Amino acid sequence: MDRNPQKSFQDMILALHDFWSAHGCLILQPYDMRMGAGTFHTATTLRALGPEPWNAAFVQPCRRPTDGRYGENPNRLQHYYQYQVILKPSPPDIQDLYLESLRVIGIDPLKHDIRFVEDDWESPTLGAWGLGWEVWCDGMEVTQFTYFQQMGGFDCKPVAGELTYGLERLAMYIQGVDNVYDLDFNGQGVTYGDVFLENEKQMSKWNFEVAETDALFDLFNKAEAECKNALSANVPIAAYEQAVEASHIFNLLQARGVISVQERASYMGRVRDLARGSCEAHMEKEAPVWAEKYPEWSK
């Protein structure tokens, strides 16, 4: 079947799937939890730890409650998609592969100005950082490109390369559309707005105005407690899920404007402790197996 990534949002995604699948990636599905970025997917965070090779690609819906604009802003959404590729260890031709993937979805680098502009990435919440670039296409940031150096406070051994494509932005660019809701979703006239506009309106209202804040505070505390409970039972993946949950609840509380500047740092610290604790537990649990299989890793 012919793909038409230049006219169809879903074909663009499928073209990326085809491309990365052909280059040895597992095509995974989104993580079934609310999260702020594709990096939170365990296929990225937890798999960035340890010595085992790991190549995966997936779409991850992202929730950024404070970015909601009730469907009135042509660029900002509280729910959007990221396309994540994680390649561990980072292959020597990772930049060429990435550029090839742009050609596949219709961006010709002899017509468009593609640039790698310094942009280092850091997530204090995940105890993670890396060096890399934001990739510009005619001055627009279309991808975050990062070589992970640390995750959960641990050195990445070996280093993974992470590519995060902003799908709506890319599609708007390729389709030549100025408003995200005008994107052609399927190449047959169904628009992004048909699918998501009502969702954006309702969710913006809920995020900013409706969500019961006492219940949210309660959820945050429960997620925190459950994370610790899971940690004590030595099920770090379950603990990590609770950290992701707490992170999202915190974002909702922010959108509701009930966390003061002073409290903010303290909440972020609590989320960070959960995420790091989960990563640490994951490392501890797996380390003996990894060390046996990859003797050079533990050096």
Partner 1 sequence: MSDFLLELRSEEIPARMQAGARAELEKLFRREMDAAGVETGEITVWSTPRRLALIARGLPEATEAVSEELKGPPVGAPDQALDGFCRKAGVEKGDLETRDVKGRATYFAVKNIPGRATKDLLAEAIPAIIRDFSWPKSMRWGAASISTESLRWVRPLSGIVALLGDDVVECEVHGVTSGSVTLGHRFHHSGDITIGNSDDYAMKLRAGHVIVDHEERQDLIRSGAAKVASEAGLKLVEDEGLVIENAGLTEWPVPLLGRFEEDFLEVPPETIQLTARVNQKYFVCEDEAGELANAFICTANIEAEDGGARLVDGNRKVLAARLSDARFFWDVDRKKTLAEHAKGLERITFHEKLGTVADKVERVAKLARWLVEEGVVKGTDPDMAEQAARLAKADLVTEMVGEFPELQGLMGGYYARAEGLPDAVADAIRDHYKPVGQGDEVPTAPVTVAVSLADKLDTLTGFFRMGEKPTGSKDPFALRRAAIAVLALTQQNSLRLSVVRPFEVVRETLHAQLPGAHLTANRDFGGAQVDYRALELLDFLADRLKVQQREAGVRHDLIDAVFALGGEDDLVRLLARVKALQSFMDTEDGANLLAGYKRAANILKKEDWHGAEGEIARTGEEDPLALVDDPDMKAVIDAKMNERHAKELSYTPEPAEKALMDALATSEPAASQAIEAEDFSGAMAALASLRAPIDRFFDEVTVNADEENKRAHRLDLLAAFRAAVHKVADFSRIEG
Tell me the helices (H) and strands (E) count for the chain, helix number first.
8, 9
92 near partner 1 (CB under 8 A): yes
Residues in contact with partner 1, shown as a per-residue x/- string from 233 to 262 under the rule CB under 8 A: ---------------------------xxx
Specify the pairing of strand 54-63 against strand 79-88: antiparallel
State which of residues 58, 83, 173, 192 lies at the interface with partner 1 (CB under 8 A): 173
Q: Which of 266, 263, 48 is nearest to 158 (CA)?
A: 48
- Of 179 and 221, the one with the shorter C-beta distance to partner 1 is 179
Reduced to 3 states (helix: H, G, I; strand: E, B; else coil), residue 211 is: coil
Structure tokens given for 234: 């030595």
CA distances from 112 to 102, 138, 139 (A): 11, 6, 10
Q: Under the criterion CB under 8 A, does residue 187 sit at the interface with partner 1?
A: no
- Which helix (H) or strand (E) element contains residue 254? helix 236-255
Q: Can you tell me which of 32, 118, 209, 214 binds partner 1, judged by CB under 8 A?
A: 118
Question: Among residues 8, 45, 123, 149, which is the contact residue for partner 1, using CB under 8 A?
Answer: 149
For residue 37, give the DSSP letter: S
Determine the interface stretch with partner 1 among 6-14, 89-97, 209-217, 228-236 (rule: CB under 8 A).
89-97
Q: Which is nearer to partner 1, 59 or 105 (CB)?
A: 105
Asked whether the bond before 158 is cis by omega within 30 degrees of 0, the reply is yes
Which residues of this chain interact with partner 1, rule CB under 8 A? 51, 74-75, 89-92, 95, 99, 109-118, 120, 130-133, 137-140, 147, 149, 155-159, 161, 173, 178, 260-262, 294, 296-297, 299
